[in-house]
């Protein structure tokens, strides 16, 4: 299924991406030959029922997991040809991450957490860009706090700032609002969308919340390891409708 | 609840293994010491167990002493005349009576001219006699090859010595004796075997014919050192003893063989008891360090399982049940640890046996495992583990049930104030107890010092979580600057749980505190000796035998005739019972000795020619003696009164205790033999040439060495250092346990931080950077332990030196270089300890790590 409807070059591409867990009787096909492109400057949500392979797709795209076969490109770098060292460097220099929980190193302050990827790389922090990001996420007065002194929403905003500050080619977010109340969640999602619209960031987000998916420019639907549908300019209602449809299909099959 | 505990324990074998490890090591050392000394005892029992014939006649034991056997190296000068032996032999109750001659300083030289046998072990010589043997019995000393020595110039030697030297029957064998002709030789005509195993524990045994033995050891007198009597058919040993006893003059006694054997083995056991105590002290240190490791391990494990505990509590388990579940776990760990420790302990004993065998002391036969050893192993193993687990267990029971529902559980901590208070009290109280012990105010010095040290350790360990924070900030302060984020992470990790860091470091602290204290004492001892010798030793050369055995006065005579030699001062001595207690009586010629060292008198004069004695001012003080008093000395031929004619300054490095003139010692019945000879050169003599000439003069006697002042100082230092190295090696065990403690803590901490590790790796931390982070954290912990340990060790060492400064340890020396090396070594240890946890962490799968619960 070809899915490149967007303008601009692809920030990440998957070709014939297959991931099989186990072997023999216990073999499970998590991804069965997925082709997908994520255009630069675009906010994509990946949705699908549990076990559909949406997390696996993201992990393979994000150089966190190795595919069984097929290729993954970040820009023009092909990941399967890289060793662990190069993969680590790719993650550090070109990718950003926001996880559902436990995004921050508890011993470091908010500021140290935000600059962590740059510090690890030994790169200088672009102070102007840093200030821009901090002001956008509204953390200016919280920089010296340790994670346990921040609320859940504030912690996720620190995580977002960390993902943004190194200007990665693409940010992967795994259920970033899964642990938050709806108001904090909405703040984070609005912030992610504005970073795409205003700062030109590329974001891929896995979620099972139709409301969260509605913030994206485009929604990909996965089922049984295949991309089965996509939706542009989604609304929560449209996505929910589509998902209900899934459940029905799932119940029938 | 019990089932749940055991299941959770079985599910975590690694956890079980780690916490059991300390117990295994500690118990292994306890078991090793017991098994080894039991085996040693058995060997000596074999050697001495059934040596004597039915009744033995020997010089009477001095008044108030259990036996001569307890006086190491002592012998009596009372002899048994030959006609008395014949008289005994003629008794109707006696089957045979044989005169025995025994000497302990006839050394066999091997083909290279070196002394055979373990350094310090006696060179035993006996007279050979035929004795009738009852059916079913064997002689203790059997002839297994050749024939018995029959005339002067013939000897029989034990088979072990023959085996090591490779001599054959018919060979001319060189021997060293104390006689006027220090070096003789004799033809080997027979080979003997001592006892069943042939083991002499490192000694050699030469048999002469009776005439030659009398010539060599009794100045040709037709007499013996003792008589071995065998009873006629149907005569009871005790009855025979009484009959024989009635014939004996004063100064001789008759004893049954069984009593003599009993006496000998109990004396040997007493001697070995020291060794056992020594090993057990180190086992106790190992266990004490182990307690910290176990305490720490259980604390971390309880913290990690707090959610599981909270779940139990939420499901209705009482606090008591939670406590019990941790204690049950400790019990199981204790049992497993004690069992493995028992097995490892047997290995330790085998190792010790092998080490001794390598030095020529072969204790053949299997190991002795007494039920007592097994019981001690389990009691110690289980008890120590349960005690160490008690604190974490109580903490575990305080986990609130609500913690089960929360992600970030913080265990309730006992208040800091309690810790500081308790730690402070223990540290100060311990210090006071130590001081009381060291200043000998307290009734039992050793107990007070020991308890004091333990209290100080526990006190400092309790205070450590607070004092460690600023120390770590200093130790790891340079990390961020040098290593960037990796350094900052390492520093923060070392600081994030001060209690854990401190407990881990405390284990290392204990080992290093003891090592540092001993280093300070050792350096002070060396410096004191050196200063004393610098001030007190005026003789240019010192001649002594390497093994400490006395040697023939002919050596001094030869030295006297060497060109360039001004004076030669002999020093002799003997063990003696003085005023009812075991002591050592030295003998000098004040004239010549005064040339070798400055003999300054505090009171009276050093005129020993009239048969008087001088004592050191320290002995005079402790024994309440003044010039004109008399002492009662018994050197084996009855009590002699000796008058004190002077009191000398005990600061003299060459002299100590009671001293008489050379002639007096000889009059007391001691064969002249020098223990040390001090040689002063004529002024202007070529010292190198004199030394070479002296060496040439003693070339016949390989055991006697000639040392100039520097060499002599070196050899004195070597003696101190050798002792230090043995203690270091044993304390090394405690340090190994401490290293394992660091490994353990790091591994468990890394496990605890799995998700964090995953996150760091996801955002781009390389494996190498991750390993560096863990390594730096480890170094910070190790150096913290080293700093605390060296600090405490300095305090211990200096106060110890101060306490005994009157007893010869008057110079304080702090081996700064050595202490710095200890800290650097600790840093290296940190890197080493981190190797495995770091590798484990680096191997973690990023994705799985992030998703760990």
In a shared domain, residues B715 and B597: no
Q: So what's the pLDDT on residue B74?
A: 40
The reply to whether B730 and B694 lie within a common domain is no
CB contact under 8 A, B760 and A105: yes
A181 DSSP 8-state letter: -
Looking at residue A198, its pLDDT comes to: 85
Query: A88 and B767 in contact by Cβ < 8 A?
Result: yes
Residue pair A218/A42 in contact (Cβ under 8 Å)? The answer is: yes
Domain of B747?
467-538+709-853
Pick among B407, B764, B766, B846 to test the A interface (most A CBs inside 10 A): B764
How many beta-carbon pairs below 8 A join chains A and B? 73
The answer to whether residue B193 is domain-embedded is yes
Q: Where are the alpha helices (DSSP H) in B643-753?
A: 662-667, 687-697, 709-752
Grouping H, G, I as helix, E, B as strand and the rest as coil, residue A36 is strand
B183: β partners = B176
DSSP B804-843: TGGGT-------HHHHHHHHHHHHHHHHHHHHHHHHHHHH
Interface contact A121, partner B, CB < 8 A: yes
In contact, B215 and B589? CB cutoff 8 Å: no
Which pLDDT value is given to residue B76? 54
Structure tokens at B479: 């990390």
Q: For residue B227, tell me if it sits in a domain.
A: yes
In a domain, B424, yes or no: no
Question: What does the CA dihedral B834, B837, B839, B843 come to, rounded to 10 degrees?
Answer: -150
Burial class (CB in 10 A: 0-12, 13-18, 19+), B14: exposed
What confidence tier does B327 reach under pLDDT thresholds 50, 70, 90?
Answer: confident
What 8-state DSSP symbol labels residue B603?
Answer: E
Closest CA to B784 of B422, B473, B423: B473
Q: In the numeric block, which tokens belong to residue A213?
A: 């998916």
For residue B242, tell me if it sits in a domain. Answer: yes
The pLDDT of residue B73 is above 60: no
Measured CA to CA, the distance from residue B763 to residue A158 in angstroms comes to 14
Render pLDDT for B14-58 as a digit per residue (tens, 0 to 9). 666 767 777 787 788 788 878 887 887 777 776 666 667 788 888
**A84 contacts on B by Cβ (under 8 Å):** 767
Question: pLDDT tens for residues B512-567?
Answer: 998 899 899 889 988 888 888 888 888 889 998 766 777 888 888 888 888 888 89
A167 lies within 8 A of chain B by CB: no
**Chain A interface test: which of B472, B482, B762 (most A C-beta within 10 Å):** B762
Distance CA B311, CA B317 (A): 9
The β-bridge relationship of strands B601-604 and B639-648 is antiparallel
Same-domain status, B76 and B133 = yes
Last residue of some domain: B386, B409, B432? Answer: B409
Closest to B496 (Cα-Cα) out of B750, B771, B850: B750
First to last CA, chain A: 22
Cross-chain residue pair B408–A162, CB shorter than 8 Å: no
Q: Which chain A residue shows the shortest CA-CA distance from B486?
A: A120
Distance CA B217, CA B79 (A): 11
- How many whole angstroms separate alpha carbon B769 and alpha carbon B774? 9
In a domain, residue B832? The reply is yes
**Alpha carbon of A41: minimum distance to chain B alpha carbons (Å):** 21
Phi, psi (rounded to 5 degrees) for B548:
85, 0
Residues of chain A with pLDDT under 50: 1-7, 250-253
Q: Quick check: B68 and B61 in contact, CB under 8 A?
A: yes
Residues of B in contact with A116 (CB under 8 A): 485, 760, 763
Whether residues B660 and B794 share a domain: the answer is no
Long-range contact set of residues B598-603: C-beta below 8 Å, sequence gap at least 24? B598/B535, B598/B536, B598/B538, B598/B652, B599/B648, B599/B652, B599/B655, B600/B648, B600/B649, B600/B652, B601/B646, B601/B647, B601/B648, B601/B649, B602/B647, B602/B648, B602/B649, B603/B627, B603/B646, B603/B647
Most confident of the following: A72-76, B299-303, B398-402: A72-76
Is residue B775 predicted with pLDDT exceeding 90? yes
pLDDT given at position A220: 92
pLDDT at B676 over 60: yes
B362, pLDDT greater than 90: no
Residues of B contacting chain A (CB within 8 angstroms): 407-408, 484-486, 488-489, 492-493, 495-496, 755-756, 759-767, 769, 846-847, 850
Residue B436 lies in a domain: no
Smallest CA–CA distance, residue B764 to chain A, in Å, is 4
Q: Looking at the structure, tell me whether residues B694 and B679 fall in a common domain.
A: yes
Q: How crowded is the C-beta side of B147, counted as CA atoms within 13 Å? A: 5
| B834-848: pLDDT as tens digits | 999 999 888 888 888
- Gap between the Cα atoms of B836 and B848, Å rounded: 20
Which chain B residues have a beta carbon less than 8 Å from that of A97?
A: 762-763
What integer pLDDT is reported at residue B442 of this predicted model?
Answer: 65
As for how many domains chain B has, the answer is 4
Q: Are residues B751 and B631 in the same domain?
A: no
- Report which secondary-structure segment, H or E, holds A100: none
CB distance from A242 to chain B under 8 Å?
A: no
Burial class (CB in 10 A: 0-12, 13-18, 19+), A148: exposed
Place of tokens 């016949």: B700
Q: Which of B392, B409, B426 is the last residue of a domain?
A: B409
**Phi, psi dihedral angles at B149 (to 5 degrees):** -65, 135
pLDDT at residue B68 greater than cutoff 90 = no
What average pLDDT score do residues B701-723 get? Answer: 84
Is B261 strand, coil or helix? helix
pLDDT at B64: 52
Phi/psi region, residue A53 (left: phi>0; alpha: psi -120 to 50; beta: rest), is left
Distance set, CA B592 to CA A248, B373, B436, B660 (Å): 117, 55, 44, 14
Cα–Cα distance measured from residue A157 to residue A168, given in angstroms and rounded to the nearest whole number: 17
Q: What integer best gives the mean pLDDT of chain B?
A: 82
Lowest mean pLDDT among A78-87, B191-200, B737-746: B191-200
Closest to B770 measured CA to CA, from B483, B412, B427: B483
Q: Give the pLDDT confidence score for residue A1 in this predicted structure.
A: 42
Q: What is the mean pLDDT of residues B595-607?
A: 84
Same domain, B255 and B274: no
Together in a domain, B46 and B124: no
* Contact status of A24 with chain B (Cβ, < 8 Å): no
Q: Classify each residue of A104-119 as buried b or exposed e, where b means 16 or more C-beta atoms within 10 Å of its C-beta.
A: bbebbbbbbbbbbbbb
Angle made by CA atoms B680, B685, B689, in degrees to the nearest 5? 95
Examine the domain organization and report whether B210 and B345 are in the same domain: no
Nearest-angstrom CA–CA distance, B10 and B15: 9
Angle at B454 between CA B818 and CA B296, to 5 degrees: 90
Query: Which of A60, A74, A103, A105 best tests the B interface by mutation, with the highest count of B CBs <10 A?
Result: A105
Q: How far apart are CA B317 and CA B309, in angstroms?
A: 9
Residues 37-76 of A with CB under 8 A from B: 59, 64-65
A111 and B CB contact within 8 Å: no
Distance CA B801, CA B812 (A): 7
Q: Which has more pLDDT, A21 or B136? A: A21
B423 vs chain A: nearest CA distance in angstroms? Answer: 28
Q: Is the pLDDT of residue B96 over 90?
A: no
Burial level of B222, CB count in 10 A (0-12/13-18/19+)?
middle
Beta bridge partners of B154: B187
Asked if the structure places residue B785 within a domain, the reply is yes
Do B132 and B96 form a contact (C-beta atoms < 8 A)?
yes
Q: How far is C-alpha B629 from the chain's CA centre?
A: 38
Q: Is residue B453 part of a domain?
A: no
* CA B682 vs CA B170, B687, B691, B712: distances in Å: 46, 9, 12, 19
- The span from the CA of B263 to the CA of B724, in Å, is 33
When scoring A64, A79, A122, A155 by the number of chain B Cβ atoms within 10 A, the one with the most, hence best to mutate, is A64
Nearest in space to B206 (alpha carbons), one of B175, B235, B237: B175
From chain B, pick out residues whose CB is under 8 angstroms from the CB of A159: none
The pair of three-digit structure tokens given for residue B81, joined into one six-digit string: 């005349």
Does B344 share its domain with B303? Answer: yes
- Residues of chain B found within 8 Å of residue A108, distances taken between Cβ atoms: 488-489, 492
Cα–Cα distance between B409 and B401 in angstroms, integer? Answer: 11
* Joined tokens for residue B668: 């007391």
CB B543 within 8 A of CB B679: yes
3-class SS at A3?
coil
| pLDDT the model gives residue B11 | 61
Which residue in A has a C-alpha nearest to residue B773's C-alpha?
A: A120
Asked whether the beta carbons of B728 and A72 are under 8 A apart, the reply is: no
pLDDT value of residue B405: 58
Whether the pLDDT of residue B820 is over 90: the answer is yes
Question: What stretch of H or E contains B95?
Answer: strand B94-100
What would the two tokens of residue B399 be?
A: 């986990």
Helix or strand (DSSP H, E) at B376: helix B371-397
Select from B226, B243, B264 the last residue of a domain: B264
For A10-252, which CATH superfamily applies?
A: P-loop containing nucleotide triphosphate hydrolases (3.40.50.300)
Which residue bears the tokens 């230090």? Answer: B724
Looking at chain B, the whole-number percentage of residues with pLDDT higher than 70 is 88
Do B400 and B505 lie in one domain? The reply is no
Tokens of B473: 């900030």
Residues B774 and B787 in one domain: yes
pLDDT of B430 > 50? The answer is yes
Q: How many CB atoms lie within 10 A of CB B88?
A: 25
Other beta carbons within 10 angstroms of residue B537's beta carbon come to: 20
């Amino acid at each position: 299924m070809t899915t490149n409807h967007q303008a601009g070059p692809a920030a990440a591409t998957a070709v014939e991406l297959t991931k099989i867990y186990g072997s023999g009787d216990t073999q499970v096909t998590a991804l069965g030959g997925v082709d997908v492109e994520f255009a630069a400057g675009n906010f994509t949500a990946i949705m699908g029922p549990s076990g559909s392979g949406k997390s696996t797709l993201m992990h393979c795209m994000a150089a966190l997991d190795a595919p069984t076969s097929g290729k993954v490109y970040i820009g023009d770098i092909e990941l399967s040809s890289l060793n662990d060292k190069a993969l680590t460097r790719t993650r550090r220099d070109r990718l950003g991450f926001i996880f559902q929980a436990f995004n921050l190193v508890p011993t470091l302050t908010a500021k140290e957490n935000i600059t962590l990827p740059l510090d690890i790389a030994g790169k200088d922090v672009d102070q102007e860009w840093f200030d821009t990001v901090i002001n956008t996420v509204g953390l200016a007065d919280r920089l010296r706090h340790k994670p346990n002194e921040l609320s859940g929403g504030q912690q996720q905003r620190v995580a977002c700032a960390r993902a943004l500050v190194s200007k990665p080619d693409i940010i992967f977010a795994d259920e970033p609002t899964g642990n938050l109340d709806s108001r904090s969640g909405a703040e984070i999602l609005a912030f992610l969308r504005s970073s795409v619209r205003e700062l030109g960031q590329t974001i891929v987000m896995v979620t099972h919340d139709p409301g969260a998916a509605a913030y994206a420019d485009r929604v990909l639907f996965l089922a049984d390891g295949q991309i089965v549908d996509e939706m542009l300019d989604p609304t929560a209602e449209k996505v929910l409708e589509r998902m209900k449809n899934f459940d029905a299909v799932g119940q029938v099959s | 609840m019990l089932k749940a505990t055991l299941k959770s324990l079985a599910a975590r074998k690694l956890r079980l293994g780690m916490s059991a490890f300390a117990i295994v090591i500690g118990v292994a050392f306890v078991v090793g010491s017991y098994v080894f000394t039991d085996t040693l005892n058995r060997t000596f029992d074999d050697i001495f167990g059934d040596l004597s014939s039915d009744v033995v006649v020997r010089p009477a034991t001095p008044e108030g002493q259990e036996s001569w056997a307890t006086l190491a190296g002592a012998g009596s000068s009372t002899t048994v005349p030959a006609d008395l032996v014949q008289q005994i032999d003629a008794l109707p109750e006696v089957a045979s009576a044989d005169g025995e001659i025994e000497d302990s300083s006839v050394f066999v030289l091997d083909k290279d001219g070196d002394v055979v046998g373990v350094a310090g072990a006696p060179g035993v010589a006996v007279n050979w006699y035929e004795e009738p043997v009852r059916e079913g019995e064997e002689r203790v000393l059997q002839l297994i090859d050749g024939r018995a020595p029959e005339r002067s110039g013939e000897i029989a030697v034990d088979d072990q010595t023959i085996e090591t030297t490779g001599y054959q029957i018919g060979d001319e064998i060189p021997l060293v004796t104390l006689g006027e002709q220090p070096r003789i030789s004799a033809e080997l005509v027979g080979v003997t075997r001592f006892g069943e195993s042939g083991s002499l524990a490192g000694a050699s045994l030469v048999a002469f014919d009776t005439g030659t033995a009398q010539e060599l050891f009794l100045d040709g007198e037709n007499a013996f050192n003792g008589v071995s009597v065998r009873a006629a058919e149907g005569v009871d040993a005790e009855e025979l003893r009484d009959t024989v006893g009635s014939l004996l003059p004063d100064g001789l006694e008759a004893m049954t063989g069984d009593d003599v054997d009993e006496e000998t083995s109990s004396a040997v056991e007493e001697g070995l008891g020291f060794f056992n105590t020594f090993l057990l002290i180190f086992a106790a240190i190992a266990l004490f360090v182990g307690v910290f490791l176990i305490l720490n391990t259980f604390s971390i494990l309880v913290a990690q399982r707090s959610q599981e505990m909270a779940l139990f509590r939420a499901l209705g388990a009482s606090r008591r049940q939670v406590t019990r579940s941790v204690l049950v776990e400790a019990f199981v760990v204790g049992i497993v640890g004690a069992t493995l420790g028992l097995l490892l302990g047997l290995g330790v004993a085998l190792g010790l046996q092998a080490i001794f065998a390598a030095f020529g002391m072969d204790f053949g036969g299997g190991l002795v495992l007494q039920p007592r050893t097994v019981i001690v192993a389990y009691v110690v193993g289980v008890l120590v583990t349960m005690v160490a687990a008690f604190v974490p267990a109580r903490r575990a029971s305080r986990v609130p049930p609500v913690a089960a529902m929360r992600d970030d559980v913080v265990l309730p901590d006992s208040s800091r104030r309690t810790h500081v208070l308790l730690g402070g009290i223990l540290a100060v109280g311990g210090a006071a107890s130590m001081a009381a012990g060291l200043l000998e105010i307290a009734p039992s010095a050793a107990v007070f010092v020991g308890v004091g040290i333990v209290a100080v350790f526990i006190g400092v360990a309790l205070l450590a979580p607070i004092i460690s924070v600023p120390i770590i900030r200093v130790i790891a302060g340079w990390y961020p600057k040098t290593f960037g984020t990796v350094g900052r992470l390492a520093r923060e990790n070392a600081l994030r749980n001060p209690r854990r860091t401190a407990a881990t470091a405390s284990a290392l602290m204990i080992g290093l505190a003891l090592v540092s204290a001993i280093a300070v004492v050792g350096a002070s001892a060396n410096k004191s000796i050196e200063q004393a010798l610098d001030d007190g030793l005026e003789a240019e050369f010192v001649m002594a035998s390497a093994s400490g055995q006395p040697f023939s006065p002919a050596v001094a005579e030869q030295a006297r005739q060497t060109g360039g030699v001004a004076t030669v001062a002999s020093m002799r001595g003997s063990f003696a019972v003085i005023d009812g207690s075991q002591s050592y009586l030295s003998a000098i010629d004040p004239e010549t000795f005064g040339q070798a060292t400055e003999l300054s008198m505090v009171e009276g004069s050093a005129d020993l020619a009239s048969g008087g004695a001088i004592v050191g001012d320290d002995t005079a003080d402790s024994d309440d003696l003044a010039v004109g008093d008399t002492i009662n000395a018994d050197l084996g031929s009855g009590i002699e009164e000796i008058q004190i004619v002077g009191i000398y300054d005990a600061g003299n490095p060459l002299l100590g205790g009671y001293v008489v003139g050379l002639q007096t010692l000889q009059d007391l019945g001691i064969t002249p033999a020098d223990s040390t000879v001090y040689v002063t050169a004529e002024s202007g003599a070529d010292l190198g040439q004199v030394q070479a000439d002296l060496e040439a003069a003693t070339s016949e006697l390989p055991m006697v060495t000639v040392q100039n002042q520097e060499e002599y100082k070196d050899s004195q230092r070597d003696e101190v250092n050798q002792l230090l190295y043995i203690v270091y090696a044993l304390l090394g065990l405690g340090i190994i346990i401490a290293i394992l403690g660091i490994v353990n803590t790091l591994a468990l901490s890394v496990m605890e931080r799995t998700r964090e590790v995953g996150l760091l790796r996801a955002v781009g931390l390389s494996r190498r950077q991750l390993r560096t982070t863990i390594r730096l954290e480890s170094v910070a912990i190790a150096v913290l332990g080293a700093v605390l340990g060296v600090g405490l060790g300095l305090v211990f060492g200096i106060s110890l030196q101060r306490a005994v400064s009157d007893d010869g340890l008057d110079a304080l020396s702090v081996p700064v270089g050595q202490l710095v090396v200890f800290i650097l070594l600790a840093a290296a240890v940190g890197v080493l300890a981190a190797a495995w946890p770091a590798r484990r962490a680096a191997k973690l799968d990023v994705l799985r790590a992030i998703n760990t619960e």
